[in-house]
C-alpha cells in the first residue's frame, strides 16, 4: 500500500481521519506533530515559545526525511503548516499520495474554540487569523495535494468513502 498523507489546516480533521484510515487497514497512524514532540522532548507550544516557528519548521523537514528513509509509514497526518516550505511539498510527493482535507474558516473556528495548543491561534482576533491564514495557505495546500476532499459537514466515514472513490476503489 502506498503511504497516504493527510494535509490541511488546523482543525480540518487530519488526525481523526488518519486514525480511522489506519484502523481500517490494520496499520497505525504516524502523526508528525507527535513525532516532533517526542524528538524535541517538549510540547509544540513550548517549541514555538523557546525555539521559534522557524526551528519548528526545520524539525518538520527532518521528520519528513526520516519517514521517507524509514519507508514504512502507512498513514501520516501532518501539522497544518508543514506544506508551507517548498522543500516539504517536494518531500511529501516523494513520501506518498497527498490528500488535502479542505475546510471553511467556520468549521475551524467551531472545532478549535477554546483551544490552547495551537500557538498560531492564540490571543485575540482568532477569526481574522484563521481567515487570513486559510486564504494564504489554500493555494499552497492545493498545489501540494494529489487529491482534495471538501470536508465541511462530512462525517469521518463519508470522508473515507469519498477518498476511496477518488482513489479508484482502493486505499
Ligand atoms: C500548525 C499546525 C499544528 C502544529 C503547529 C503549527 C500550523 O498542527 O503543527 O501548531 O502552522 O498550521 P495541527 O494542524 O495538527 O493543528
Q: Which residue(s) pair with 76 in the sheet?
A: 5, 30
**What is the distance of C-alpha 26 from the center of its chain?**
21
**CA–centroid distance, residue 33 to ligand 1 (Å):** 8
Q: Is 167's pLDDT higher than 80?
A: yes
Q: Which helix (H) or strand (E) covers residue 109, if one does?
A: helix 105-111
DSSP lists the bridge partners of residue 30 as 76
Confidence at residue 170, expressed as pLDDT on a 0 to 100 scale = 72
Nearest one of 56, 2, 6 to 25, comparing CA atoms: 2
Where does the pLDDT of residue 160 fall: very low under 50, low under 70, confident under 90, or very high at 90 and above?
Answer: very high
Distance between CA atoms of residues 36 and 31, nearest Å: 9
**Average pLDDT, stretch 160-169?**
91
- 97's CB contacts (< 8 A; 6+ apart) are 2, 3, 4, 5, 146, 147, 167
Mutational pocket test of ligand 1: of 13, 14, 29, 33, the residue with most ligand atoms within 8 Å of the beta carbon: 33
pLDDT above 80: residue 1: no
The answer, yes or no, to whether residue 171 has pLDDT greater than 80, is no
Q: What is the pLDDT of residues 72-128, one digit of tens each?
A: 999 999 999 999 999 999 999 999 999 999 999 999 999 999 999 999 999 999 999
25-39 confidence digits (pLDDT tens): 999 999 999 999 999
The CA 132 to ligand 1 mean position distance, Å, reads 15
Q: C-alpha grid cell for residue 95?
A: 513520501
Residue 19 confidence (pLDDT): 98
8 lines ligand 1 (CB under 6 A): no
pLDDT digits (tens, 9 = 90+) for 132-151: 999 999 999 999 999 999 99
Where are any strands of DSSP class E within the chain? 4-7, 29-31, 75-77, 97-102, 147-150
Q: What is the mean pLDDT of the chain?
A: 96
Closest Cα to atom 15 of ligand 1: 79
Please give the model's pTM, rounded to 2 decimal places. Answer: 0.97
Q: Is the CB of 44 under 6 A from ligand 1?
A: yes
Q: What percent of the chain has pLDDT over 70?
A: 100
Cα end-to-end distance, the chain, whole Å:
7
Atom of ligand 1 nearest to the CA of 118: 10
Question: What is the per-residue pLDDT for 108?
Answer: 98
- 3-state secondary structure (DSSP) of residue 166: helix
Asked whether the beta carbons of 40 and 60 are under 8 A apart, the reply is: no
At 55, give phi and psi (nearest 5°): -65, -40
Higher-scoring residue by pLDDT: 109, 167: 109
Amino acid at each position: 500500500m502506498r503511504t497516504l498523507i493527510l494535509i490541511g489546516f488546523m482543525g480540518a480533521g487530519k488526525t481523526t481521519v488518519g486514525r480511522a484510515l489506519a484502523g481500517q487497514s490494520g496499520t497505525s497512524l504516524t502523526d508528525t506533530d507527535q513525532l516532533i514532540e517526542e524528538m524535541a522532548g517538549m510540547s509544540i507550544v513550548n517549541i514555538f515559545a523557546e525555539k521559534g516557528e522557524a526551528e519548528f519548521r526545520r524539525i518538520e523537514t527532518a521528520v519528513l526525511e526520516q519517514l521517507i528513509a524509514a519507508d514504512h509509514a502507512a498513514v501520516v497526518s501532518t501539522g497544518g503548516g508543514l506544506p508551507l516550505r517548498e522543500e516539504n511539498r517536494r518531500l511529501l510527493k516523494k513520501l506518498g499520495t497527498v490528500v488535502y482535507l479542505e475546510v471553511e474558516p467556520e468549521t475551524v473556528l467551531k472545532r478549535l474554540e477554546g483551544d490552547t495548543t495551537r500557538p498560531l491561534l492564540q490571543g485575540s482576533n482568532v477569526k481574522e487569523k484563521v481567515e487570513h491564514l486559510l486564504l494564504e495557505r489554500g493555494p499552497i495546500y492545493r498545489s501540494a495535494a494529489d487529491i482534495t476532499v471538501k470536508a465541511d459537514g462530512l462525517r469521518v466515514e463519508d470522508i473515507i468513502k469519498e477518498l476511496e472513490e477518488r482513489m479508484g476503489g482502493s486505499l
